[in-house]
Each structure stands twice: as C-alpha cells, then as structure tokens.
Amino acid sequence: MKSDMKTVGTSNILIKYADDVDLLVPETSDIDIVTEFNSVKVWSTQNKMVINFLKAKKMVFHRPNPRNIVYPPVLDSTERDRVAKLL
C-alpha cells in the first residue's frame, strides 16, 4: 500500500513505519515546521486518523556547543525531548 502523505517543502523528509511518522525539517528549509506539521494534521483528519498528541514530541538537533541556538516555533500540544528512540 502506497501512502499519499507527502511533505510540503522540498528539503523536508517524512520517515514512515507502520503507524509511526518522523518529520525532519532542516533549519534552512523552504517551508517551516509549523506549516509541515499542520499539513500532517490536515492529512490525518482527511484520512480519519487520530494523532496522539501525548506521544508527539519535538526534538532539535544541534552541535555539542553552539554559540547561538535558534529554537523553532512551538507546535500545538507537543513537548520538546532530548532523547529519541526511533524504530
């Protein structure tokens, strides 16, 4: 079965496995993370699927000792994590 869920931005990446989706949005992306996340929410509503916001996490990757960290905007009902377990 082929999924019709796609990213809005050309440099953004969706990694799909069973019922898990990882959305990767680089800092220099043409579309911001809020727009991408809203696209995923619209897709899930149109396909009658529910996003479990209690399990939805946001993670910011950066160098070990950056001079300036610019955090992306806050997403609806998601918390920021420091550790990730990916399948």
Domain map (residue ranges) of the chain: 13-80
CB 26 within 8 A of CB 7: no
According to the model, what pLDDT value does residue 74 have?
67
For the cut 60, the answer to whether the pLDDT of residue 1 exceeds it is: no
Place of tokens 């082929």: 2
What are all long-range contacts of 71-76, with beta carbons under 8 Å and residues at least 24 apart?
72/25, 72/32, 72/33, 72/34, 73/32, 73/33, 73/34, 75/33, 75/34, 75/37, 76/37
Helix (H) or strand (E) holding 44: helix 33-46
CB atoms within 10 A of CB 36: 21
Look at 3 and 29; give whichever has higher pLDDT: 29
pLDDT of residue 39: 92
Give tens-digit pLDDT for 15-65.
888 888 888 888 888 888 889 888 998 999 999 989 888 888 777 776 777
